[in-house]
């Protein structure tokens, strides 16, 4: 099998070690990736630092054209990219195609935002002392960015690191997840087709135990990390003087109130608790149901879950595939077992077959059990009955996390009440918390992170405001 090179300062390169990528469903080898040496990592960072001023001065049309090129080329290679995601990640091909479509949009949105990336003007003569003065407020990149991406969306979450960086004129060094580097390297291939200057991007599939050198390097003043909360906060603690943005985990809740469309809620929750084998930070984990409709809704939900197609991720009909590894599946199996031992009841699923966990519905899980209070990152949901909307919203907030929540209701008053009371970064009314539009601000509160993704929001996070005051003007 040919070895896939990495991207060092915009050029393909190979190192002296290799990483084998396997399919978690059947164990077959998907690809072999070259791993950069320590010296090559240093070259990549040095190149990013050397080009930082040239990158910041790139005309907006150059940035936008490069981003639009990646969007077009990715659309042309969509089937190839989807099959690559499915093979290295274990994601069903249906969902992999959706991820490619989102990445195409992410680069398109970035191209559009790049063309609008200009400053604001403020007249300052609101007071006599500032007569004749005007402020021009621009946004300036902090400098080169280190983007660290996870395995669960190996293409689109890399896109959410790279696209806003190019849009603001900041070089970026990407460290993809070791389990899923191939999709990120495909993006590197498309970026290499553009007219961006050398050093503008590198994609380095280094193992996690070597990431500390990149995190510590002062030439990378911005770190954008997506992944688990413990790792994210360890990065922030390690480099407190850097500008760190964190998109972390959650144990997302879907609230089903008495006035909801129960069929719609059941079908959406069933799918979006399991759509990436539960490996999404906004997959439905807690299902908070008003008591008056609990019995009817639970019956509909279990039926919908049992109707999901579980199997080979390459099969067009598969809705739920394997977890990223057998070890990940064993951990989820252990958490289910702990909950059952503590009194939880299994209404559906619960069994493991290799790296696959059958979509699982639990009731009566103790509030302190890990399936309730931690992020399970697997195809497991826990039903929690509540008396009314007030208790439902308090139960959502009874969590260390606060990424997004879904609220199924037809009441506009309850929708706005949910928005006021829920301690989360996003409230999705009439649907699951798993909904995300790639152009909207996305991120959480509490232990779900700091900063926001979404093109315009990430561009703001990668830059700072700079003010120039002009004096002695006739305004």
Per-residue pLDDT tens, the chain, 475 aa: give them: 899 999 999 999 999 999 999 999 999 999 999 999 999 999 999 999 999 999 999 999 999 999 999 999 999 999 999 999 999 999 999 999 999 999 999 999 999 999 999 999 999 999 999 999 999 999 999 999 999 999 999 999 999 999 999 999 999 999 999 999 999 999 999 999 999 999 999 999 999 999 999 999 999 999 999 999 999 999 999 999 999 999 999 999 999 999 999 999 999 999 999 999 999 999 999 999 999 999 999 999 999 999 999 999 999 999 999 999 999 999 999 999 999 999 999 999 999 999 999 999 999 999 999 999 999 999 999 999 999 999 999 999 999 999 999 999 999 999 999 999 999 999 999 999 999 999 999 999 999 999 999 999 999 999 999 999 999 999 9
Domain assignment present for 475: no
Identify the pLDDT of residue 5: 98
Indicate the helix (H) or strand (E) that contains 31: strand 29-35
Domain that holds residue 368: 253-437
Identify the pLDDT of residue 177: 98
Backbone φ and ψ for 384, nearest 5 degrees, come out as -125, 110
| Residues 27 and 61 occupy one common structural domain | yes
Identify the pLDDT of residue 1: 81
Domain assignment present for 474: no
Number of domains in the chain: 2
Domain assignment present for 473: no
**CATH number, residue 43:** 3.40.605.10
User: Sheet containing 17-22: which strands, arranged edge to edge?
Assistant: 3-4, 29-35, 17-22
Of 88, 113, 281, 375, catalytic: 281
Q: Does this model's pTM top 0.95?
A: yes
**CATH number, residue 414:** 3.40.309.10
Of 99, 247, 375, 447, catalytic: 247
Bridge-based pairing state of the strands 286-290 and 380-386: parallel
281 is catalytic: yes
| Residues 202 and 257 occupy one common structural domain | no
| Residues 292 and 210 occupy one common structural domain | no
Domain assignment present for 444: no
Q: What angle do CA 199, 34, 321 make, to 5 degrees?
A: 105
| Residues 243 and 261 occupy one common structural domain | no
| Residues 232 and 278 occupy one common structural domain | no
Residues comprising the chain, all counted:
475
| Residues 351 and 407 occupy one common structural domain | yes
Domain assignment present for 139: yes
| Residues 263 and 244 occupy one common structural domain | no
Q: How many CB atoms sit inside 10 A of residue 354's CB?
A: 14
Domain assignment present for 222: yes
Closest by Cα among 24, 25, 21, 27 to 2: 21
Tokens matching residue 375: 């992020």
Residues 321 and 346 sit within 8 Å (Cβ to Cβ): no
Backbone φ and ψ for 74, nearest 5 degrees, come out as -65, -40
| Residues 115 and 159 occupy one common structural domain | yes
Residues 51 and 199 sit within 8 Å (Cβ to Cβ): yes
| Residues 167 and 278 occupy one common structural domain | no
Domain assignment present for 401: yes
Question: Distance between CA 404 and CA 422 in Å, rounded?
Answer: 9
Number of DSSP helices (H) and strands (E) in the chain, helices first: 16, 25
| Residues 462 and 401 occupy one common structural domain | no
| Residues 152 and 73 occupy one common structural domain | yes
Domain assignment present for 386: yes
| Residues 287 and 235 occupy one common structural domain | no
């Amino acid at each position: 099998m040919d070895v896939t090179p990495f991207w060092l300062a915009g050029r393909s390169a190979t190192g002296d070690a290799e990483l084998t990528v396997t399919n978690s469903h059947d164990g077959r080898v998907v690809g072999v990736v070259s791993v950069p040496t320590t010296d090559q990592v240093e070259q990549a960072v040095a190149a990013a630092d050397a080009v930082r001023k040239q990158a910041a001065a790139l005309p907006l049309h150059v940035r936008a054209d490069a981003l639009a090129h990646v969007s077009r080329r990715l659309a042309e290679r969509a089937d190839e990219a989807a099959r690559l995601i499915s093979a290295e990640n274990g994601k069903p091909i249906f969902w992999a195609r959706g991820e490619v479509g989102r990445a195409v949009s992410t680069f398109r949105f970035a191209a559009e935002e790049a063309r609008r990336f200009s400053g604001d003007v403020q007249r300052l003569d609101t007071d006599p002392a500032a007569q004749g003065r005007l402020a021009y407020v621009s946004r300036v990149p902090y400098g080169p960015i280190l983007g660290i991406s996870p395995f669960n969306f190996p293409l689109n979450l890399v896109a959410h690191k790279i696209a806003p960086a190019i849009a603001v004129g900041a070089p970026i060094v990407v460290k993809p997840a070791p389990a899923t580097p191939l999709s990120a390297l495909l993006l590197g291939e498309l970026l290499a087709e553009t007219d961006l200057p050398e050093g503008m991007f590198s994609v380095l599939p280094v193992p996690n135990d070597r990431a500390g050198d990149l995190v510590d390097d002062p030439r990378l003043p911005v770190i954008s990390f997506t992944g688990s909360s413990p790792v994210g906060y360890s990065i922030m603690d390690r480099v407190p003087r850097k500008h760190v943005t964190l998109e972390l985990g959650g144990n997302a809740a879907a609230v089903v109130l008495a006035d909801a469309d129960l069929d719609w809620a059941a079908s959406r929750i069933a799918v979006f608790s399991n759509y990436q084998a539960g490996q999404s930070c906004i997959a439905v984990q807690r299902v908070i149901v008003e008591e008056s409709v609990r019995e009817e809704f639970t019956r509909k939900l279990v039926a919908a879950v049992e109707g999901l197609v579980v199997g080979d991720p390459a099969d067009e009909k598969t809705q739920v595939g394997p977890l990223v590894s057998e070890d990940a599946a064993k951990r989820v199996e252990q958490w289910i077992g702990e909950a059952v031992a503590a009194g939880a009841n299994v209404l559906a699923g619960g069994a493991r077959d290799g790296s696959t966990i059958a979509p699982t519905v639990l009731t009566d899980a103790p509030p302190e059990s890990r399936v309730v209070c931690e992020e399970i990152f697997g195809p497991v949901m826990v039903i929690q009955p509540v008396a009314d909307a007030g208790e439902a919203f308090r139960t959502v907030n009874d969590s260390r996390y606060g990424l997004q929540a879904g609220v199924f209701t037809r009441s506009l008053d309850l929708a706005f009440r949910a928005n006021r009371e829920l301690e989360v970064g996003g409230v999705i009314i009439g649907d699951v918390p798993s909904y995300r539009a790639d152009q909207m601000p996305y991120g959480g509160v509490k232990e779900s992170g700091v900063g926001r993704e979404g093109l315009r929001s990430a561009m703001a996070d990668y830059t700072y405001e700079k003010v120039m005051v002009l004096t002695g003007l006739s305004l």
